[in-house]
Structure 1
Amino acid sequence: MDLGQNQFNGQIPRSLVKCKMLEFLNLGNNQIEDTFPSWLGWLPELKVLILRHNGFHGVIGKPKFNEFREMRILDLSFNKFVGGLPSHHFQRWKAMQVVDLGKLNYLQANVSFQAPGNNWFTSFSYSMTMTKAGVETKYEKIQDFLVAIDLSSNRFEGRIPEDVRVLKAVQFLNLSNNLLSGQIPSALANLTQLQVMDLSQNKLNGEIPRELVQLTFLEFFNVSHNQLIGPIPQGKQFSTFQNNSFEGNPGLCGKPLSKECYPEGSSPTSPSMSKRDDGGDTWFEFGWKVIMLGYGSGLLNGLILGYLFNPMKSKLFVKFFGRKMQNRRRGRRN
């Protein structure tokens, strides 16, 4: 059922729960105002749910049953969802946990028509539009092993949960343009099928986990405009990413950025580093030390000599020792 690109408003009709064979539901690009329709999880065959560009809002609560077990593609982008990411649902999305590439098939509906003396068979391929690598992409056909989650452009907050590790079959993960904070979990390295990961436009901090270098299928990686620090992991797919994947993080350093990384405790503006550049600052500092040493010793010597050669002190010396010498001479004469 494809009802996208219309002007439907209000809530999703609850009568859809009766469509037990429904595999594909697209309500994107409408004006629907509703909370997350967890009750659609009762549909045992639902594989694709697209709710992008609507007015869905509120917190995605805990699941009440084993819902969305066959879900492979979930697009909730450009809505008004709040609260934490739906980590409690991750354990229930069983189809996203099993990597099964199999043969190249496409999601489609096989339809047959019967009439007196004639039977017609046809198939209808599902199509959709998703944001891939920052660009809206039209999929005329959907590969049946494609697994994608797009929760971008909402108001999700808090940490990216460690439970994300169970979604091993996910190929596209878009969490951009939210209010997510905390560190990027190294558990994302468990998603070995990832081709696209977009975490840009959030409030993530800390370092980029080095474990992410293990994602050998990763074609697009974006963590721009966060609060990340430290060196960018190097090697494998990370050597293919450009500056715009990391821009907007003043604390990041290393290739492909022009900002170099420096050993702990030093920086490009610290005296120890500036001395190593051309030696100029070293000699400058050494010269000042010599001058100050000479000045100090000269001052001390001057005070001592001044005291020794003080005219008043000389007169007292002569007067004192002169009297002693006179007394000795008188004693000899007597």
Structure 2
Amino acid sequence: MIPSWIPSLPSLKYLDLSDNHFNGQLDEFKSKELVWIDLGTNYLKSPIPNSLLNQEYLMFFSLSSNNFSDDLNFSMFSNFSRLGMLNLPYNSFSWADKDQVKSNLLNFLYDLDLRSNLLQGSVPIPPSSIQNFFISHNNLSGHIPSTICNLEFLRILDLASNSLKGAIPPCFGNMSTIEVLDLRHNNLSGKIQRNFSVGNPLRSFNLRGNKFEGKIPCSLTNGKRLEVLDLGDNELNHTFPMWLGTHQT
């Protein structure tokens, strides 16, 4: 167990107990000045104490790789007015609402990691400030919402290993900030859109393990920074795209 005197420290600001063997439930924290909390890679379990959800100055919060099973809702973090990074992967979190919609909360959040949990329903739209959004290895279903293209700062989108279906929203090809797009191991289908804009910043594009058909769009050459292109295990056909051999980053 985490020693009870630690949550009792009234002026605690930075707490890092990650990569240990702490177990059990967390006590309520006395400090209201916490800025950094990292409890990742332990054996801690639910519930998340209310005192941790009421930290006005918190900027980094990680409970990754534990045994938490709370019902998540963006509104539960409404007091985190300065939070920049929220890391909750490798737990057993589920949604309180399976069809999460865009939240106006967490206006400073730029990194949200929800990988490898028990999340179901449609793809949630994170706060507009988000740059890196990881939600792979869950059980999300339905189509990828085109409204995700409205995230003007989005750099990394990881939706891999879910149960998503349908086509890729055409607007992805016109996003001016996205560098990593990982959609592998879903049930996506149709043709790969052909409207990748000139000068797009895409570095990694992964569609492995879906049901795409047709040919590889040569508009992918419009982005000169592409380093990783994985289209394996699909239903693509046509002649081999010779332009791939001349593409330079």
Considering the TM-score relative to the shorter chain, is it more than 0.5?
yes
Q: Distance in 1 between matches of 2:98 and 2:47?
A: 15
Q: Taking structure 1 as reference, are residues 25 and 210 closer, same or farther at Cα in structure 2, changes over 3 Å only?
A: same
Q: What amino acid is the match of 2:71?
A: V
Equivalent pair of 2:74/2:103 in contact (CA under 8 Å):
no
CA change 1:66–1:247 in 2 (3 A) is: closer
Distance apart, 1:34 and its partner CA: 1.0
Max Rg structure: 1
Who is 2:9 aligned against?
A: none
Deviation at 1:221, TM superposition (A): 0.8
Return the letter of the residue paired with 1:21. Answer: E
TM norm structure 2 = 0.73
> Counterpart in 2 of 1:54?
66
Alpha-carbon distance, 1:238 to partner: 8.1
Match of 1:259 in 2: 236
1:4 is matched with which residue?
18
Task: Look up the match of 1:92.
Answer: 105
Q: In 2, distance between residues paired with 1:222 and 1:65?
A: 27
Compared with structure 1, are the counterparts of its residues 62 and 188 closer, same or farther at alpha carbon in structure 2 (3 Å cutoff)?
closer
Contact 1:62 1:86 in 2 (8 A): no
Shift of 1:88: 6.5
Alpha-carbon deviations, 1:290-313, whole Å to 9, x = none?
xxxxxxxxxxxxxxxxxxxxxxxx
Q: Which runs of 5+ in 2 are unaligned?
A: 1-14, 217-228, 239-249
User: 2:192 aligned with 1:180, yes or no?
Assistant: no
Q: Deviations for 1:172-217, whole angstroms, at most 9, x for unmatched residues?
A: 1001000000110111111121111110000001111011123222
Letter of the structure 2 residue corresponding to residue 90 of structure 1 = S
SS of the residue corresponding to residue 52 of structure 2 reads helix
C-alpha distance in 2, partners of 1:13/1:89?
A: 31
CA RMSD of aligned residues (A): 2.5
How far off its partner does 1:92 sit? 2.2
How far 1:76 moved relative to its partner? 0.4
- Number of residue equivalences: 204
**Aligned pair partner of 1:249 in 196, 203, 210:** 210
**Aligned residues: percent identity?**
29
Aligned counterpart, 2:53:
41
TM-score when scaled to structure 1? 0.56
> What is the distance in 2 between the residues matched to 1:194 and 1:64?
23
Change (3 A) 1:233 1:88: closer
Give the residue type in structure 2 aligned to 1:180.
L
Q: Say yes or no: does 1:233 pair with 2:196.
A: no
More helix by share: 1
Q: State the shift of 1:253 in Å.
A: 4.2
